[in-house]
Chains A and B, each alone.
Chain A
């Protein structure tokens, strides 16, 4: 009898060791700040039935750049309510992989996020209807939520914007030069002017003390999302807008890439007026590019307001906070003088429909706490830097960082047409990767732009068809 116990003990310890190992691998590379013991699946005693006060919420975080803030929130939330918030962060670009393996576990994430209608199509079996949650009631623009058949399955939790970030100090220096092509940034309101200014700046980069106008166009595989997703949003937005295409319909299953030339305009401008030669772009990452901007080596960089933490976090940063401004991405469309930034979100909270109802409730309570209590709101605006789309926030509860301010400014401007985030309906990651790879080859000179265009159109078609979504 005793022996059997020993065997049993041994077996169990093996089991625990094995599960710990799996937990570690799936979280590998994650900037997960939570202590190892709290990682899901590692503790055998985790019979997660929340009794009275206490309990645990497993939250799978998408944004590695703010992982540390979530850890602080978790600490505060536990002190306040006794509910433990377990934050696991997926490493940059691996969210879908991590979610895929985590959600199959017994202790699956209760709170996770989907990236829009495409994400919902993949995860629909796991998304709980959030129509009756308090947080949804406070959503200012209900049309932003992910809806399907009368239910609400994803609540946007942040509004973000991107465009061309420029360093005003360098711009002013240029405007002061003799024969400058413009005298203020306000004059730059279309592609022709932008091109004129940028090319003149490149010609006089020594005078301006910069290495290039644009920070390097990062085209390393996995670092190319600013082009194959964000920049590509503009031509696609106009294609659908001018063609009156309903984005929820099947009409988005094929595209013509009508404004490919406009895409080429701006892309050429980026790669030919950059800090590095086009042939070297295959080794540049987003971090490289943000660092170049922060160190004052480049005057402009295309990115969104989330990049503020990256810019301010660079060692030896020379860019002053008040000098960081946004300008829309002009691609040479008619009437683009009134075009604004690209504003939207691809971050939607979803609650695991297959989780224990008590845990679902805990997750809902936590979300509401984060977006309505004073402490929670303070975290959201000042630490996470989110522009929250909820009416629980008053006008003075907005993030103070310069880029978020700029996004708010642009949203409030009269007569400006904000570009929506239509890339939410791009087929899938494979399409984006193929597009990015084609752009890299174009930059290196091994493909022509016509070939790139052809790849985009064909890959879009096959990937849309291949999607069971």
Chain B
């Protein structure tokens, strides 16, 4: 068996490897190379060294503004999404009638694409703001909270499912034993449930962190950066740099590489930190 597996390993792994190389590895390496060049189309690049990286910070403040907006957004949405989805998961593991229906309903928004969601929420939010004579573009705060609401609505269901799986994995006898020992339900939550769902917390924070950090579709559809780029997140800023100004494609590419490094660094740190809190059950 082992031998046959080895023999056919290449054949089974090859399609995935090729797909991975074509759709990810090669574009990624090309992207890094292009960030050091000046180009109009990806096939006619001219080497310019580190100039693009310098221009990211000297050309204008857009990148730093977008970074700050993204960080604020990410912090807020990680907290809200995880707290709310954990609360929902707790509720929907109590055996309430119609649990399955609720789980499905909460999960549904996750099946809708980002662009569509963005436009739907734009309509809803504008519909509310109309009665005050303004729209979502009136203040950057509106766009910010609009994005937070949208992101919560989309991701809570998904994270909830992960938390439910984690909560269902807790051995009921532990909770029962704690109850007999006189622990209050808050103590059970703090001392048993939360430590035991830490693996889920790791996954959920990782997912919310990376998803919020590299948010693009929803941002583009909801505000497209209005007013005056004040609600543009990093991915949108990269896109605008790349396409909005001839000759700046390389700068956009350099931003993208920096963006990758940031997301990777933050995500890995977070993984390390939450992993260390996980306990065996």
Contact = CB atoms under 8 A, between A and B. Distances in A.
To the question of whether A and B form a pair in one complex, the answer is yes
A430 B44 contact: no
A281 B228 CA distance: 15
Interface in B131-189: 133-139
A428 interface: yes
Contacts, number: 116
B246 A121 contact: yes
B244 A430 contact: yes
Interface string A452-469: 000000000011001111
B15 A14 contact: yes
B247 interface: yes
A442 to B, nearest CB: 10
B202 interface: no
A7 B247 CA distance: 42
Given A280-B135, A282-B138, A440-B227, A104 B244 contact: no
Contacts of B276: none
Interface in B101-145: 122, 126, 130, 133-139
Interface stretch (A42-50, A313-321, A431-439): A431-439
A463 B241 CA distance: 12
B11 interface: yes
A466 B135 contact: no
Most chain B beta carbons < 10 A, residue from A11, A96, A123, A282:
A282
Nearest to B138: A444
Interface in A264-307: 277, 279-283
A100 B243 contact: yes
Nearest to B55: A466
Nearest to A444: B138
B240 to A, nearest CB: 7
A271 to B, nearest CB: 13
Contacts of A283: 122, 126, 135-137
B130 A430 contact: no
A429 B243 contact: yes
Interface string B212-231: 00000000000111111100
B235 to A, nearest CB: 15
B246 A437 contact: no
B244 A444 contact: no
Interface string A411-455: 000000000000000001110011001101100101000000000
B42 A104 contact: yes
Contact of B137 (A14, A118, A440, A468): A440
A96 B243 contact: yes
Contact of B11 (A3, A103, A468): A3
A420 to B, nearest CB: 23
B134 A280 contact: yes
A11 B244 contact: no
Nearest to A121: B246
A257 to B, nearest CB: 18
Contacts of A121: 246
A440 B225 CA distance: 12
Interface of B: 10-11, 14-15, 18-19, 22-23, 38, 40-44, 59-60, 122, 126, 130, 133-139, 223-229, 240, 243-248
Interface of A: 3, 6-7, 10-11, 14-15, 18, 21, 96-97, 100-101, 103-104, 118, 121-123, 125, 219-222, 277, 279-283, 428-430, 433-434, 437-438, 440-441, 444, 446, 462-463, 466-469
16 contacts: A11-B15, A14-B22, A21-B23, A100-B243, A122-B40, A220-B224, A222-B224, A280-B133, A282-B226, A283-B126, A283-B135, A430-B244, A440-B226, A446-B138, A463-B245, A468-B247
Given A14-B19, A428-B245, A429-B244, 4 more contacts: A277-B133, A279-B134, A279-B135, A282-B135
